[in-house]
Amino acid sequence: MAIKYHENSKTFHLYNESISYIFKVLENNQLGQLYFGNKIKDRDNFDHLLEMQSRTMSVCIYENNPYFSLEHIKQEYPTYGSGDMRYPAIDISQKNGGKVLNFEFVSFKIFKGKKTLNGLPATYVENADEADSLEITLYDKLIETKLKLLYTIYNELPVITRSVNIENCGSDDIKLNRIMSLNLDLPDMDYEMLELTGAWARERHIKTRKLEQGIQSIYSMRGCSSANFNPFIALKREGCTEYKGEIIGFSLIYSGNFLAQVDVDTYDTSRVSLGINPHGFEWILKSDESFQTPEAVIVYSGKGINDMSQTFHSLYQKRLARGKYRDEVRPILVNNWEATYFDFDEEKLISFAEKSKSLGAELFVLDDGWFGNRNNSKSGLGDWHPNLEKIPSGIDGLSKKINKLGIKFGLWIEPEMVNKDSELYRNHPEWILQTPNRNLSQGRNQYVLDFSNNEVVDYIYDTLKNLLEKSEVSYIKWDMNRSMSEVYSLAHKSEDQGKIMHKYILGLYDLYERLINDFPNILFESCASGGSRFDPGMLYYAPQAWTSDNTDAIERLKIQYGSSIVYPISSMGSHVSAAPNEQMYRNTPLDTRANVAYFGTFGYELDVTNLSEDEEKIIIEQIKFMKKYRDIFQFGKFYRLSSPFSSNETSWMVVSEDKKLAIVGYYRVLQKVNQSFRRVKLLGLDPNLEYVISTYDYKVYGDELMNVGLITSDYSSGKYRGVGKIEGDYLSRLYVLKSIS
């Protein structure tokens, strides 16, 4: 691994065993991008990669030089107004009303390891040898402003991380209108853009579209990263599949409004930009103030989508998530939400916890409805003290009683919100986001607390700290249940209102940081009406997230398959719920529900006190099974094998590091009449190891399983002999493969 600076050609080359990232200082002292992709040999000079052409109608920097036009030069961090006609990475309003910028190269620093970003989530290293970093300083003399471009390349991973820091060194204010975390100019447009889109209960479905000239983008303007578009895009070459081909993934470590955009010009070059959404963002930077953007991550693979995902999984699981649970298997939980909604009392909760314990679960989670006057979604939000009518022992008493039963206790909170019918709102109506003299819209009968105001964050922090200190709480589900509107803070001046959306996110991160530091043994799970804030920013604080309110096993195939494009299995909250399912009214077999949920953190979200004898026996076995194998489910290497978006059959698998153990999940949505024989080619096994397969009575070598495939129409052999034809819709199988050598 290296970051090299070639003095003669003023070229930077960041490379490791798998990737190269090259750019240089151009004739005008700005930075030009030369190459990103598969590793190429280092050399002193890559100037031949700088393509320039004289084109009619182009604006050129120098008199008598028709070649040097910023419109046609691939740039590292472009600005608008000096000849480049595409969208810029940065836009600044200046004192004289002008907007033209000229950030010129001044100096650079190369150092081992990686810096943390103050107040923002970011990937990290555990020792300095894991990565090298480069910090480039650019300066605009006219506005006396310093721009630092930060890069890190990981030694063992095909990953470059980037962010930008800007500092106003002059005496006049400047106003940032746009400051992207990343810009990457690519030389052609022969890509398909892959994105994760959806809505509540159908989060992170995979969509692809061919790049076309013009703008293609996804974004959030909801105040959270959103279920609608995840802060991620990938550009893949035609013919790139799960198993082969070139793909570049771009992911933003941020939980608020974002923009991910590809701008293709009519010369067929593609400009990728990723960062805070400029819409609704305006940041006045006074003298001596600086601003740090969120971090963006670029992952390259020449070996298909699975390979790109595995890089994201390793990075986000081991070098973004933090804390005790980063490397620990997750407790198997029972959550009362879908079983009781708001209708419970202490006795009922104790009986739930007792039953959960007897089934083998390790954590009982009390969801919404335990506090204030919270008997429906219309009141009580914001009042984080127990409702003593429902829970006479309070949370401290209840949590202790439940812990005494031999099962841990977890709690739901939604600290960023209030109902108008709450003590908190009555005492502090000025503490919510609201635009003066405008209608105030509600969402789920609730309003958003102004987390851009430190006083509000401090109050919530003190309240929660006090609650958690008194109680025996091992897990927190941190919810957030509405998109934001009328965003404006009464605590800030009118000229600072463009900062509120980002300051809110900084307030949120600050609250998380304080609580995870105070309570390092608590497992945090983030949630936002299911998966509306399932993003890398949250993973820095909470190593798992509630993937979706949709707990139907068949819908979960798409949601979990899509989520796995970027996010590790250990981050996906997944529960077995009742049938018919609450969201889909669909009846799926109990084993299929578990077979999907095993590929996640695993738990139950149903009335455990109302199970049939058969169901109880099955659940006891399921929990035993998960305890035995969760290490490989949550931390093994995950491969997608066949997609629910294009097939009636979904399959995926996990493989242990030593390849001696693998588990394949196979799911068939609809029964087909008189169907053909089916098999699925496995991945990631050791070709020379012989595996015993749990449902079969014969052994098979890894090479056969990867080349011929695993037979899934298994009704002619082994455990399922003769039963296949009658199983019907929503069938699933779990194959445990163990090497016997």
Q: Contact positions toward ligand GLA, by CB under 6 A? A: 337, 367-368, 412, 479, 481, 527, 529-530, 546, 549
Q: Which helix (H) or strand (E) holds 515?
A: helix 500-518
The phi, psi pair for 234, rounded to 5°, reads -135, 145
Q: How far is the CB of 501 from ligand GLA (least distance, A)?
A: 22
Q: How far is the CB of 452 from ligand GLA (least distance, A)?
A: 24
Please, which residue, 577 or 656, has the CB nearer to ligand GLA? Answer: 577
Distance from chain centroid for Cα 344: 33
For residues 457 and 468, what is the distance between their CA atoms, to the nearest angstrom?
16
Residue type at 499?
A: K
For residues 448 and 79, what is the distance between their CA atoms, to the nearest angstrom?
35
Q: How far is the CB of 412 from ligand GLA (least distance, A)?
A: 5
The strand ranges marked E within 39-130 are 90-93, 104-112
CA atoms within 13 A on the CB side of 452: 23
Q: Which of 91, 549, 591, 686 is catalytic?
A: 549
CA atoms within 13 A on the CB side of 549: 19
Please, which residue, 130 or 535, has the CB nearer to ligand GLA? Answer: 535
Q: How far is the CB of 582 from ligand GLA (least distance, A)?
A: 11
* Residue 518 annotated as catalytic: no
Own/partner contacts of 79-88, CB < 8 Å, gap of 24 or more, are: 79/103, 83/58, 83/59, 85/59, 85/265, 86/263, 86/265, 86/271, 87/215, 87/261, 87/263, 87/271, 87/273, 88/178
Cα 69 to Cα 154, 443, 596: the distances in Å are 34, 49, 54
HEC per residue, 662-706: EEEEEEECCCCCCCCCCEECCCCCCCCCEEEECCCCCEEEHHHHH
Strand-by-strand arrangement of the 575-577 sheet = 572-573, 544-546, 523-526, 475-478, 408-413, 363-366, 333-335, 603-605, 575-577
Omega into 536 within 30° of 0, i.e. cis?
no
Is 478 within 8 Å of 511 (Cβ atoms)? no
In the complex, residue closest to ligand GLA by CB: 368
Distance from chain centroid for Cα 17: 26
Please, which residue, 531 or 537, has the CB nearer to ligand GLA? Answer: 531
What lies within 8 Å, CB to CB, of 628 at 6+ separation is: none
Place of tokens 């740090």: 292
Tell me the longest C-alpha to C-alpha distance in the chain: 88
For residues 261 and 616, what is the distance between their CA atoms, to the nearest angstrom?
50
Please, which residue, 165 or 547, has the CB nearer to ligand GLA? Answer: 547
What lies within 8 Å, CB to CB, of 90 at 6+ separation is: 77, 79, 101, 103, 147, 164, 166, 176, 178, 179, 180
Q: How far is the CB of 649 from ligand GLA (least distance, A)?
A: 29
Is 385 within 8 Å of 471 (Cβ atoms)? no
Q: Which of 479, 535, 552, 686 is catalytic?
A: 479
Please, which residue, 533 or 678, has the CB nearer to ligand GLA? Answer: 533
Please, which residue, 533 or 640, has the CB nearer to ligand GLA? Answer: 533
Residue type at 291?
A: F
* Residue 729 annotated as catalytic: no
Please, which residue, 341 or 488, has the CB nearer to ligand GLA? Answer: 341
Please, which residue, 307 or 605, has the CB nearer to ligand GLA? Answer: 605
HEC per residue, 524-566: EEECECCECCCCHHHHCCCCEEECCCCCCHHHHHHHHHHHCCC
CA neighbor of 570 nearest in space, from 324, 242, 334, 313: 313
Please, which residue, 562 or 724, has the CB nearer to ligand GLA? Answer: 562
Please, which residue, 275 or 603, has the CB nearer to ligand GLA? Answer: 603
CA neighbor of 464 nearest in space, from 543, 532, 534, 522: 522
Cα 503 to Cα 274, 368, 488, 499: the distances in Å are 19, 27, 11, 6
Q: How far is the CB of 410 from ligand GLA (least distance, A)?
A: 12
Q: How far is the CB of 330 from ligand GLA (least distance, A)?
A: 17
Residues paired with residue 146 on neighbouring β-strands, in sequence order:
139, 167
Please, which residue, 530 or 724, has the CB nearer to ligand GLA? Answer: 530
Start-to-end C-alpha separation, the chain:
36
Please, which residue, 185 or 605, has the CB nearer to ligand GLA? Answer: 605
For residues 128 and 112, what is the distance between their CA atoms, to the nearest angstrom?
5
Q: How far is the CB of 434 from ligand GLA (least distance, A)?
A: 23
For residues 112 and 326, what is the distance between their CA atoms, to the nearest angstrom?
24
Residue positions annotated with a catalytic role: 479, 549
